[in-house]
């Protein structure tokens, strides 16, 4: 069997899907201020492809460290960019959105760095004692569902910024905006994701602190 070259890794099928995610996300950014329907569809395609790259990686045995990083960086970049628009659409809540971006980026960076520093093979390999993170990362259905709720919650807020869009009559509530309905339905999953981010960051901090303590104790012996 011929040796795999770095160029071949870059063009693995799941990584090509990752590049498509990046391109569709960029297109949605340029449409975001004036074309909410097109933005929702194109941004949604970018998010849905996130579920496909992992499947293709396993099917064709094309898992790679580069692909894992590309996937995580794309996830964080697309979500953060959408939240940036929400800061403009809802300036009163900009500090809250800024904190949410900071939590998301910090949690995932620390998680991946701690995993690699501790010799872990994948940031998705979580010990069973961390039941919430183990549920989140070890079951693809849970990971996909929670991530979908997270993105749909933000998309709901995004659509809510366009009052000219559809309203529906909800029993016992009255007229409700499609964006508000979407955000309300996805709120439980969204909250779970934020709690997971906090737990993930705490776990990463403990892993790094444990490694630092061991290194400090080695110097004293």
For residue 210, the Cα-to-chain-centroid distance in whole angstroms is 27
- SS3 (DSSP) at 90: coil
CB atoms within 10 A of CB 106: 14
Domain count, the chain: 1
> Taking a C-beta distance cutoff of 8 angstroms, is the pair 132, 145 a contact?
no
Q: Is residue 159 situated within a structural domain? A: yes
Question: What is the per-residue pLDDT for 221?
Answer: 72
Q: Is residue 1 situated within a structural domain? A: no
> Taking a C-beta distance cutoff of 8 angstroms, is the pair 211, 116 a contact?
no
CB neighbours of 38 closer than 8 A, spacing ≥ 6?
28, 31
The CATH number linked to 177 is 1.20.120
Q: Is residue 142 situated within a structural domain? A: yes
Tell me the residue range of the domain where 167 lies.
6-220
Question: What is the per-residue pLDDT for 170?
Answer: 62
> Taking a C-beta distance cutoff of 8 angstroms, is the pair 192, 146 a contact?
yes
The reply to whether 75 belongs to the active site is yes
Report DSSP letters for 126-183, one per residue: --TTSHHHHHHHH-HHHHHHHHHHHHHHHHHHHHHT-TTS-EEEETTTEEEEHHHHHH
- pLDDT tens per residue, the chain (221 residues)? 678 899 999 999 999 999 999 999 999 999 999 999 999 999 999 988 988 888 898 888 998 889 988 998 999 999 999 999 999 999 999 999 999 999 999 999 998 888 888 766 555 666 666 757 777 777 777 878 888 999 999 999 999 999 877 776 666 666 788 898 899 999 999 999 999 999 999 989 988 998 899 889 988 87
Question: What is the per-residue pLDDT for 129?
Answer: 63
Name the β-bridge partners of 168. Answer: 176
Q: Is residue 137 situated within a structural domain? A: yes
What is the C-alpha to C-alpha distance for residues 104 and 88, in angstroms, rounded to an integer? 19
Q: Is residue 57 situated within a structural domain? A: yes
Q: Is residue 92 situated within a structural domain? A: yes
Question: What is the per-residue pLDDT for 51?
Answer: 82
Query: Of 53, 71, 75, 104, which residue is the catalytic one?
Result: 75
Q: Is residue 95 situated within a structural domain? A: yes
């Amino acid at each position: 069997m011929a040796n795999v070259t770095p160029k071949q890794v870059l063009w693995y099928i799941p990584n090509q899907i990752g590049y498509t995610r990046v391109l569709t996300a960029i297109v949605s950014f340029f449409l975001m201020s004036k074309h909410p329907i097109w933005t929702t569809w194109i941004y949604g395609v970018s998010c849905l492809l996130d579920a496909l790259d992992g499947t293709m990686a396993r099917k064709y045995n094309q898992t790679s460290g580069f692909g894992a990083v590309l996937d995580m960086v794309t996830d964080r970049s697309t979500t953060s960019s959408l939240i940036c628009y929400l800061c403009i659409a809802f300036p009163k809540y900009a500090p809250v959105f800024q904190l949410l971006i900071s939590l998301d980026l910090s949690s995932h960076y620390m998680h991946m760095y701690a995993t690699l520093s501790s010799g872990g093979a994948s940031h998705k390999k979580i010990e069973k004692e961390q039941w919430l993170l183990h549920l989140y990362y070890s079951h693809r259905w849970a990971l996909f569902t929670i991530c979908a709720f997270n993105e749909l919650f933000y998309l709901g807020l995004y659509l809510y910024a366009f009052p000219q869009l559809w309203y529906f009559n909800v029993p016992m509530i009255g007229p409700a905006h499609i964006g508000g309905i979407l955000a309300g339905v996805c709120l439980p999953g969204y909250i779970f994701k934020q709690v997971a981010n906090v737990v993930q960051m705490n776990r990463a901090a403990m892993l790094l602190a444990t490694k630092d303590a061991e290194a400090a104790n080695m110097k004293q012996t």
